[in-house]
Chains A and B, each alone.
Chain A
C-alpha cells in the first residue's frame, strides 16, 4: 500500500474522481498550471485539460458562485479557496446561494459541490493565513462541513464529498499537509460523512477534537496513558452534521468530556458539543464538560504556538476533569 501525505491523498482522490466521472471538475486560483499553491491539484490540468481544471480570476465570489451554477447545471465542481481566510468575499455565494438553493427552490435545484480550503494555524501565517472559520459554515443550514486530520481520511472523505448531493465545505489543516505520512489504499474507498472515528479507546475521560489539534490531543492522551489514565480520543472528522451518537456513547461511559479545537472558543463547535452532552447526559457526568480552544482574539503571529491548544493546556484541563 502506498505511503501518502495529506496533499498526496487529495491529489489521489481528485484524480480518481475525475477519472471516474466526467462531471467532476476543478476551479480555483492557480489550480491549473501551478497545481495549486500547496500543489494539491498538481498535474491534473495536464491530464484533464483546461476546461475541466480552470484557473480562475482572483475572485472567491466568482469561484464559489460559478461552482453553484455549474453544479445546478449538472457538473460536480470542486472549488479551491486558496486559504480559508480568503473565503469571505465568496460568502454570499456560499451562504445565500449554495447553502439555500435546494431549500429555496423546494428541492427543484441543487448544488452538489465541494469547496476545499486549507485551514488553521501553525505555519507562521499571521491572522489571514491561519484562521479556523468552520463555525460560520456549520452555523449555516444547508452546508456540510468536513475537517480532516489524516491522509487516509482525507482521501476517503474527499471522494465521498464529491459524490455527496449537498454542498460540502472541505477543510484541510494546512500544517498537516506534509506532517503525517501513512498508508493510503491506491484503490477505491469511501468514508461516510457525519461519522466520527475513535482514535484511541479509553474509560477515564473522553477527548473530542478534529482537524489540526488532533496531533496535540493524541500526544496528551499518550502522556496520560503513561500515568495510567486512559483517555478515549474521538476525531469528529465531520463537524456538520457531527456524530452525536459516538460522542454521547463515549461520554456516558467515561463521565468526563473535554472538547479541543483551535477555533476561537465563544460560539464554537466545541461549545455546541459541550452543550449537547450537558443537555443529554447531565445525570451521568462526573464533572462539568470543558473546552480547550483557540483564544477569542484574532490569530496572532508571534504567539502562534501559544494560541493553538497546547499539550500542556489539554493535560491541565484533563486534570481538572479527573480531580473534580
Chain B
C-alpha cells in the first residue's frame, strides 16, 4: 500500500525500517529526497566514521585523555541532525554524540579543541573530551551526569511553548539513561505540559558493560512512552533514512502542538564504552563481529548504489577530502595552544566574587 503522506504509527512490534540489509527501499512511501541530500547524508556518515577513527588514533598516540567512540551510531546521528532545523531547534546531546554535533555543523576545529583541551575549545577546555556544546547552534553543552539533561530539555521546551517560538528541543541519550530518576522526571513533566520536545534513545544495548536485559524488563525502550501518555516510536537506527524520517515526524508533531514523543533508534556500539573501557571483558568478539557485518554505512552505500548515486571513485575522493579536513582542523586546534590557566576562575559566576579573586591572585603568584 502506498502512503500519500509520510507518517508513522507508534508502538510497532518491529523496528521501523525503510532500507533493508541489502539496501532496498522497503517503505510504503516515496522518500522524495533530492540526490544531493541523499549524498549529503552519506558524506556526513562517512565524516562521522572518519572522525571516530581519528579520535581513536589520538587516544592510541597519547594525544588525548578520553573518548567515547560513536562508530555504529552514525546513521542515527546523521538522521537526527538533518531532521531538526539547524540553529533554530535546540539539541540536548549526550557524550556519545560527536557524529551528531558534527553533522549539525559544530566546526571540526572546535571538536578537536574540546578533545585536546586547547584554547580552540569555545567552552575553554574545562570538561573532559566528548563533551561538546555550541551556543551559536543551540547545542546545550554536554554534562557527564547521565540523564541530567532530560529535565533541562523539558524546561527549554516549556519556554519554547510559552514564548511561541516554533522551536523544538531534541534530547538524546543512551539506553542506560532511561533507568535514571531524572529521565522519568523530565519525560513525565514534558508529557504533562505537552512541551515540544523529542526524546531520542540511541539504544546500543550496552551501558558500559550492562546489557539491556539487565537494564530494563520492558520489551523495548519506545514502549516506555505508553506509561507517560505520549507516542513511542521504535526504529532501526542503523538505517539513516528511517532515523531521519521518524525523527522528522516526531519533530513535526511537537512543532504543531501535539506534544512530546519518545523515539528509540536501535544501533550498535562498535567500540568499547570509552577509551577507559575494555569491552572484551563482557561481550564476545563473535557478537561484535556479527554486529560489524551490519555496518550502517555499508547498508546506506548499497542503497545509494541502487539509486545510481554511489561509486567507489566518488567515495574515495570524499574520503580523502574529509581526511584532509580532519587533519587541518586538528592542526588548527593544536596551534591554538593551552588556555590561560588563570581563566580557571572565569565563568563560575557572571562576575568574579572576592574569594575567587583571592584564589586567582594566589595562583598568579605561584605561576609568576
Contacts and interface: CB of A to CB of B under 8 A. Distances in A.
B355 A241 contact: yes
Contact of B133 (A65, A108, A165): A108
A71 B162 CA distance: 13
A97 B123 contact: no
Contact of B350 (A54, A77, A141, A165): A165
A66 B182 contact: no
Contacts of B156: 69-70, 72-73
Contacts of A291: none
B155 A67 contact: yes
B162 A92 contact: no
B143 A142 contact: no
Contact of A102 (B161, B188, B349): B349
B151 A61 contact: yes
B353 A241 contact: yes
Nearest to B90: A73
B60 to A, nearest CB: 27
A128 interface: no
A165 B145 CA distance: 23
Interface stretch (B95-103, B134-142, B256-264): B134-142
Nearest to A99: B348
Interface string B120-147: 0111101100010111000011011100
Contacts of B162: 25, 51-52, 75
B157 interface: yes
Interface string B146-182: 0011111111111111110000010000000000011
B145 A56 contact: no
Contact of B151 (A51, A93, A144, A194): A93
A61 B135 contact: no
Interface string A93-104: 100110011111
A65 B152 contact: yes
Nearest to B133: A105
B311 interface: no
B314 interface: no
Interface string A63-97: 01111111111110100000000000100110011
Contacts of A69: 151-159, 169
Interface in A216-234: none
A197 interface: no
B181 A66 contact: no
Contacts of B150: 65
Given A96-B148, A100-B143, A101-B141, A62 B350 contact: no
Most interface-central of B126, B182, B354 (chain A CB within 10 A): B182
B148 A108 contact: no
Given A96-B148, A101-B141, A108-B141, A144 B349 contact: yes
B249 interface: no
A65 B141 contact: no
Nearest to B165: A73
Nearest to B350: A165
Nearest to A108: B135
A244 B153 CA distance: 38
A250 B89 CA distance: 53
A92 B140 contact: no
Contacts of B90: 73
B140 A72 contact: yes
A104 B127 contact: yes
B350 A166 contact: yes
B181 to A, nearest CB: 6
A54 B181 CA distance: 21
A20 B259 CA distance: 30
A107 interface: yes
Contacts of B181: 61, 89
B192 interface: yes
A110 B347 CA distance: 9
Given A107-B346, A110-B350, A241-B355, A65 B126 contact: no
Contacts of B148: 65, 92-93, 96-97
Contacts of A2: none
Interface string B184-205: 0110110011000000000000
A65 B122 contact: no
A103 B159 contact: no
Contacts of A105: 123, 133, 135, 141, 347
A57 B189 contact: yes
Interface in B331-357: 346-350, 353-355
Contact of B182 (A52, A56, A61, A71): A61
B114 to A, nearest CB: 10
Contacts of B163: 74-75
A271 interface: no
B158 to A, nearest CB: 6
Interface of A: 25, 51-52, 54, 56-57, 59, 61-62, 64-75, 77, 89, 92-93, 96-97, 100-110, 141-142, 144, 164-166, 194, 241, 244-245
Counting from the closest, the 3 A-B pairs by CB-CB distance are A65-B151, A69-B155, A66-B155
29 contacts: A51-B161, A54-B193, A61-B186, A62-B185, A66-B154, A66-B186, A66-B189, A68-B155, A69-B155, A70-B155, A70-B158, A74-B159, A75-B163, A96-B145, A96-B148, A97-B148, A97-B152, A104-B131, A105-B135, A106-B122, A106-B124, A106-B347, A108-B135, A109-B135, A142-B348, A164-B350, A165-B350, A166-B349, A241-B354
Given A72-B156, A165-B350, 20 more contacts: A59-B189, A61-B151, A65-B185, A70-B158, A71-B155, A72-B140, A72-B155, A92-B145, A93-B151, A96-B145, A102-B348, A102-B350, A104-B141, A105-B123, A106-B121, A108-B133, A108-B135, A142-B349, A166-B350, A244-B355
Interface of B: 90, 121-124, 126-127, 131, 133-135, 140-141, 143-145, 148-163, 169, 181-182, 185-186, 188-189, 192-193, 346-350, 353-355
